[in-house]
Amino acid sequence: MKNLNMPMKKYKYNLVLSSVLLLMAWSVDVVAQGKAAADKPIFKLSYFNVNNSTQYLVFESLMRTEHSVLPQIGKEYEIFLGDTSALVAKIITDKHGKANAVIPPSLKQAWEASSQHIFLVKEGDKELISDYTINKAKITIDTTTADTVHSITATVQTLKDGKWVPAADVEMKLGIKRLGGILPAGDDETLTTDSSGTVTTELKKLNLPGDSKGNYLLMAQVEDNDLYGNIIVEKSVPWGTVPHYNADFFKERHLWSTGRHAPLWLVSMALFIMITVWGTLIYLVFQIVKIKKLGVNNTA
């Protein structure tokens, strides 16, 4: 009976082993993302107006898979102004799936003729975007200082019938340009323009470090607005502090200092442990030498 059971047992264990291996393969496969899912393309066109002087377009082409969104690299597209007779640029997407296009001088007349423009994007004969509409707009920043209190006023205006008129109800950020983005000047993250197209805020972030002269950049930004796209304006103000770097700081003994300036307590603790352990090991090596000597003497 025992002998009969043996192949059956082996079969069972083989089954268990196969299941484990299958599970392993399954688990590895999970990490490889988005292989089987149905892919869906995403296209986005954005208009940028920087400091009321540089206008350009950014086109982004992405592919949404089951687990991730991947950039479409090296793809060719065409951007048109108004209709397909006015080519703005032929673009090829970069490694981020993005491509920039500047309105060429040949379209200057068409660009200046109207306060509103429609952009089209095509891939070959296929129209990907047909109704991206932009109204021309600009931002101006004014500053006032009274009794050491700094105030910032930003005004958004839009072009209508050849005249600049206030743009009301436009959400915008107003603050100080920092490395990671805009630090709000006041308490609110965003502000909305009133009927005169203005927002005003008092500078609450005091004593911010500026450049070597104490200057930093104020920044007003309208982001992804349905009517005006992206508008960014910067203005330099001498409201920052001149940073003073204490070069001696890193020469003091701290956990964050260089190796030669490690805290003494840490160095002494580490040395104590190392000397104890390695001292014992050296002692043991001597013991092996002693064993060897005993053996050699014994042979002699």
Partner 1 sequence: MLVVICIIGAYAYYRQLRYGLVVTAMRDYVSWGIYISNFVFFVAISLVGSLITAILRLSNVKWSTPLTRIAEIIAVSAIVMASLIIIVDMGSPEKFYNLFLYGRIQSPIMWDVIVITTYFFISCILLYLPLLPDLKILIRHKDKTGSGLNKLYRFQGSFWKGTKEQFKISNKSINILCILIIPVAFSIHTVTSWLFATTYRPGWDSTNFGAYFISGAFLVGAGGVVVAMYVFRRYYKLEKYITELHFDMMAKVTVLLALVYLYFNVNEYLVPAFKMKKSEEAHLSNLFSGEFSLMFWFAILVGMIFPIIILLFKKGRKPLPAFITGIMVVVGAWFKRYLFVTPTLLHPFMPMEDVPLSYKHYFPSWEEWAIAMGSLAACLLIITFFARIYPIIPIEETIMEQNEELEHAHEEV
**Which among 160-168, 169-177, 232-240, 285-293 is the span making contact with partner 1, rule CB under 8 A?**
285-293
210 phi, psi to nearest 5 deg: -110, -155
CA distances from 7 to 1, 11, 14, 18, 108 (A): 11, 6, 10, 16, 86
d(CA 203, CA 148): 10
**Which among 75-83, 99-107, 129-137, 267-275 is the span making contact with partner 1, rule CB under 8 A?**
267-275
What DSSP element (H or E) covers 131? strand 126-135
Whether 48 contacts 58, CB under 8 Å: yes
SS3 at position 82: coil
Give the count of residues interacting with partner 1 (CB under 8 A). 51
Tell me: does residue 53 bind partner 1 (CB under 8 A).
Answer: no
Cα angle 7, 9, 14 (rounded to 5 degrees) comes to 90
CB of 99 to partner 1, least distance (A): 15
Tell me: does residue 275 bind partner 1 (CB under 8 A).
Answer: no
Residues 92-151 that bind partner 1 (CB under 8 A): 95-96
Tell me: does residue 296 bind partner 1 (CB under 8 A).
Answer: yes
Tell me: does residue 287 bind partner 1 (CB under 8 A).
Answer: yes
Options 1, 4, 8, 30; binder of partner 1; rule CB under 8 A: 30
Comparing CA positions, the residue from 82, 89, 90 lying closest to residue 118 is 82
Rg (CA), the chain: 34
Cα angle 279, 282, 288 (rounded to 5 degrees) comes to 145
CB of 112 to partner 1, least distance (A): 33
**Which among 83-91, 142-150, 160-168, 251-259 is the span making contact with partner 1, rule CB under 8 A?**
251-259
Whether 72 contacts 253, CB under 8 Å: no
Comparing CA positions, the residue from 39, 45, 54, 48 lying closest to residue 97 is 45
CB of 3 to partner 1, least distance (A): 16
Q: Where are the beta strands (DSSP E) in 181-228?
A: 181-184, 191-192, 198-202, 216-225
d(CA 187, CA 192): 13
Tell me: does residue 3 bind partner 1 (CB under 8 A).
Answer: no
Tell me: does residue 214 bind partner 1 (CB under 8 A).
Answer: no
SS3 at position 170: coil
Tell me: does residue 295 bind partner 1 (CB under 8 A).
Answer: yes
Tell me: does residue 250 bind partner 1 (CB under 8 A).
Answer: no
Residues 9-28 that bind partner 1 (CB under 8 A): 13, 16-17, 20, 23-24, 26-27
Closer Cβ to partner 1, 41 or 263, answer by number: 263
Options 32, 38, 146, 300; binder of partner 1; rule CB under 8 A: 32
Take residue 245 and report the two structure tokens written for it.
């770097």
Closer Cβ to partner 1, 249 or 278, answer by number: 278
Tell me: does residue 258 bind partner 1 (CB under 8 A).
Answer: yes
In the complex, the residues that contact partner 1 under the rule CB under 8 A are 13, 16-17, 20, 23-24, 26-27, 30-33, 62, 67-71, 95-96, 180-181, 255-259, 262-263, 266-267, 270, 274, 277-278, 280-281, 283-285, 287-288, 290-296, 298-299
